[in-house]
Structure 1
Amino acid sequence: MRALASVNPFIYRYKWHFLAGVLFVALSTLLAIFPAQLVRYAFDLVNEGIDLYHLYAGTRAQSGVYELFGRNVLFYGMVIILLALLRGIFLFFMRQTLIVMSRLIENDQKNQIYLHYQSLPLSFYRRNRVGDLMSRISEDVSRVRMYLGPAIMYFLQLVLMFILIVPLMLMVNVKLTLYTLLPLPVLSVSIFYINNVIEKKSDEIQKALASMTTFVQESFSGIRVLKSFVRQQDSHEQFTKSSNEYKNKSLSLNFVNALFFPLIMFLIGISTLITVWVGGQEVIRGTITTGTIAEFLIYVNLLTWPVAALGWTSSLVQRAEASQARINEFLHQKTDIVSRRNVEHSMQGDIVFDHVSFTYPDTGIEALKDVSFRIRPGQTLAVIGNTGSGKSTVAALICRLYDVSQGSISIDGIDVRDYALPTLREQIGYVPQDVFLFSDSIRNNINFGLDQPDEERMLQAARDAAVYDNIVAFPEGFDTKVGERGITLSGGQKQRVSMARALVKEPKILILDDSLSAVDTKTENTILSSLQRIMANRSSVIISHRVSSVKLADEILVLDDGQIVQHGTHEVLMADVAGLYRALYERQLQTEEA
Structure 2
Amino acid sequence: MKELKHLNKYFKKYWLKLLIGIVITIFARLFQLVMPSYVNKIITVVEQYLSSAIAKEAAKEQLSLFILIIVGAALLSGFLTFLMRQTIIYVSRYIEYDLKNEIFDHYQILSLNFYKKNRTGDLMNRISEDVNQVRLYAGPAIMYGIQTLTLFACLIPLMFIKAPTLAAYTLLPLPILSVLIYKISKIIHKRSTVVQEYLSSLSTFTQEVFSGVSVIKAYALEPQTNTELGQLAIEGKDKSMSLAKVNAWFFPLMVLLIGISNILVIYIGGMQYINGEIGVGLIAEFILYVNMLTWPVAIVGWLTSIVQRAEASQKRINEFLNEKPELENRESRSLQIKGKITFKNVNFTYEDTNIHAIKDLSFTINPGETVAIIGKTGSGKSTILDLVARLYDVSSGEITIDDEPIKNINLTDLRKSIGAVPQDAFLFSDTIKNNIKFGKFDATDAEIIAIAKQAVVHDNIMGFSKQYETVLGERGITLSGGQKQRISIARALLKSPEIYLFDDCLSAVDTETEEEILSNLKKASTHKTTLIVSHRVSSAINADKILVLENGELLQQGTHEDLNSIEGYYKALYQNQLSKKEN
TM range (shorter): over 0.9
Give the Cα separation in 2 of the matches to 1:417 and 1:207. 37
- 1:106 is aligned to 96
Distance 1:593 1:223 in 2: 39
One-letter code aligned to 1:522: E
The answer to whether the 8 Å contact 2:250/2:301 transfers is: no
On the 8 A contact 1:191/1:308 being kept in 2, the answer is no
Please identify, of 192-201 and 476-485, the stretch whose mean Cα deviation from structure 2 is larger: 192-201
Distance 1:206 1:318, change over 3 A: closer
Seen in structure 2, the aligned counterparts of structure 1 residues 137 and 227 have a Cα distance that, compared at 3 Å, is closer
Pair 446,527 (structure 1): closer, same or farther in 2 beyond 3 Å: same
Partner of 2:438: 448
Residues 437, 486 of structure 1: 8 Å contact kept? yes
What residue in structure 2 maps to residue 73 of structure 1?
A: 63
Change (3 A) 1:198 1:415: closer
TM-score, normalised relative to structure 2? 0.92
Q: Out of 392, 398, 401, which is 2:388 matched to? A: 398
Distance 2:187 2:2 in 1: 24
1:542 aligns with 2:532: yes
Structure 1 residues 246 and 123, CA gap change in structure 2 (3 angstroms):
closer
Alignment of 1:26-37 (within 5 A): 26-37=26-37
Q: Decide which of 331, 353, 357 is 2:347's aligned counterpart.
A: 357
Aligned to 1:40: 40
**Structure 1 stretch displaced more, 183-192 or 459-468:** 183-192
Match of 2:271 in 1: 281
Structure 1 unaligned blocks of 5 or more: 54-63
Aligned to 1:408: 398
| Structure 1 residue 248 displacement after superposition | 7.3
Could you tell me which amino acid in structure 2 is paired with residue 137 of structure 1? I
Q: Out of 179-188 and 510-519, give the one that drifted further.
A: 179-188
Determine the C-alpha separation between the residues in 1 that align with 2:77 and 2:197. Answer: 41
Query: Alignment partner of 1:504: what SS?
Result: helix
1:143-170 per-residue CA deviation (whole Å, 9 max, x = no partner) reads 2222221222222222222221111111
Residue pair 1:349, 1:538 contacting (<8 A) in 2 also = yes
* 2:338 counterpart SS class: coil
Q: 1 CA distance for matches of 2:167 and 2:209?
A: 62
Query: How far off its partner does 1:406 sit?
Result: 2.2
Which letter does structure 2 place at the counterpart of 1:109? L
Please state if 1:493 is matched with 2:483.
yes
Structure 1 residue 316: Cα displacement: 2.2
Pair 1:308-2:298 in alignment? yes
Give the aligned partner of residue 322 of structure 1: 312
1:343–1:418 contact (8 Å) kept in structure 2? no
Partner of 1:515: 505
Superposed CA deviations along residues 23-72 of structure 1, whole A, max 9, x for unmatched, are 1122112112222211211111211111117xxxxxxxxxx811211111
Query: What corresponds to 1:183 in structure 2?
Result: 173
| TM-fit CA distance, 1:354 | 2.0
1:156-195 alignment to 2 at 5 Å?
156-187=146-177
Mapped contact 1:557–1:568 kept (Cα < 8 A): yes
Instruction: Kindly indicate whether the alpha-carbon contact (under 8 Å) linking 2:192 and 2:312 is maintained by their aligned counterparts in 1.
Output: no
Structure 2 residue aligned with 1:584 = 573
CA change 1:200–1:408 in 2 (3 A) is closer
Q: What CA distance in whole angstroms lies between the structure 1 residues aligned with 2:478 and 2:237?
A: 34
Task: Tell me, yes or no, if structure 1 residue 87 matches structure 2 residue 80.
Answer: no
Cα distance between partner residues in 2 of 1:467 and 1:194 = 63
Q: In the TM superposition, what is the alpha-carbon distance from 1:444 to its structure 2 partner? A: 0.4
Q: Determine the structure 2 residue equivalent to 1:10.
A: 10
Q: Structure 1 counterpart of 2:486, which letter?
A: R
Alignment of structure 1 residues 40-439 onto 2, 5 Å: 40-52=40-52, 65-187=55-177, 215=205, 217-239=207-229, 261=251, 263-439=253-429
Separation in 2 of the partners of 1:529 and 1:493?
A: 18
Task: Give SS of 1:449's match.
Answer: coil
Residues 192 and 311, structure 1, Cα contact 8 Å, conserved in 2: no
Work out the percentage of aligned pairs sharing the same amino acid: 48
- Cα distance in 2, alignment partners of residues 330 and 227 from structure 1: 35
Counterpart of 2:471 in structure 1 is 481
Letter in 2 for 1:333: E
Offset at residue 397 of structure 1 (A): 1.3
Corresponding position: 1:504 with 2:487:
no
What's the CA shift string for 1:506-544, capped at 9, x where partnerless? 111111011111112122112111112112221100011
For residues 450 and 266 of structure 2, the distance between their equivalents in structure 1, rounded to whole angstroms, comes to: 86
Taking the aligned partners of 2:210 and 2:98, their CA distance within structure 1 comes to 34
Q: Partners of 1:399 and 1:278 in 2: how far apart?
A: 80
Larger mean CA deviation between 222-231 and 291-300 belongs to 222-231
Provide the secondary structure at the position in 1 that maps to 2:496.
coil
Q: What amino acid maps onto 1:110 in structure 2?
A: K
Alignment match, 1:472: 462
**Secondary structure, in 3 states, of the residue corresponding to 1:536?**
coil
Contact 2:340 2:366 in 1 (8 A): yes
| Aligned 8 A contact 1:188 1:310 in 2 | no
| RMSD, aligned α-carbons | 2.7
Q: 1:153 to 1:185 in 2, by over 3 A?
A: farther
Unmatched segments (≥5 aa) in structure 2 = none
Q: Quick check: 227-236 or 113-122, which moved more?
A: 227-236
Provide the C-alpha distance between the structure 2 equivalents of 1:510 and 1:51, rounded to a whole number of angstroms: 100
Q: By how many angstroms is 1:445 displaced?
A: 0.5
Q: Tell me how far 1:110 sits from its aligned partner.
A: 0.8
Task: Provide the secondary structure at the position in 2 that maps to 1:537.
Answer: coil
**Offset at 1:454?**
2.1
Match of 1:458 among 439, 443, 448: 448
Deviations 1:233-252 (A, max 9, x none): 44455555555666777788
Distance 1:132 1:551, change over 3 A: same
**Which amino acid in 1 is paired with 2:569?**
L
Aligned to 1:59: none
Higher mean C-alpha deviation, range 420-429 or range 200-209: 200-209
Distance 1:291 1:399, change over 3 A: same
Aligned residue type for 2:43: F
Deviation (angstroms), 1:412: 2.2
Report the secondary structure of 1:367's partner residue.
Answer: strand
Encode CA deviations 1:257-303: one digit per residue, 9 max, x unaligned: 77765554443333222211211111111111111111111211222
- 1:484-519, Cα deviation, whole Å (9 max, x unpaired): 011101111111111111111111111101111111
Residues in 2 aligned to 1:555 and 1:258: alpha-carbon distance in whole angstroms: 72
Query: Could you tell which deviates more after superposition, 517-526 or 215-224?
Result: 215-224
Which amino acid in structure 2 is aligned with residue 101 of structure 1? V
CA contact (8 A) 2:92 2:136 kept: yes
- Partner residue in 2 for 1:61: none
AA aligned opposite 2:415: R
User: 2: CA distance between counterparts of 1:238 and 1:4?
Assistant: 35
Conservation of the 8 A alpha-carbon contact between 1:188 and 1:311: no
Q: What secondary structure, in the 3-state scheme, does the structure 1 residue paired with 2:479 have?
A: coil
TM-score (norm 1): 0.90
Aligned-partner Cα distance in 1 for 2:267–2:290: 14
1:56 aligned residue: none
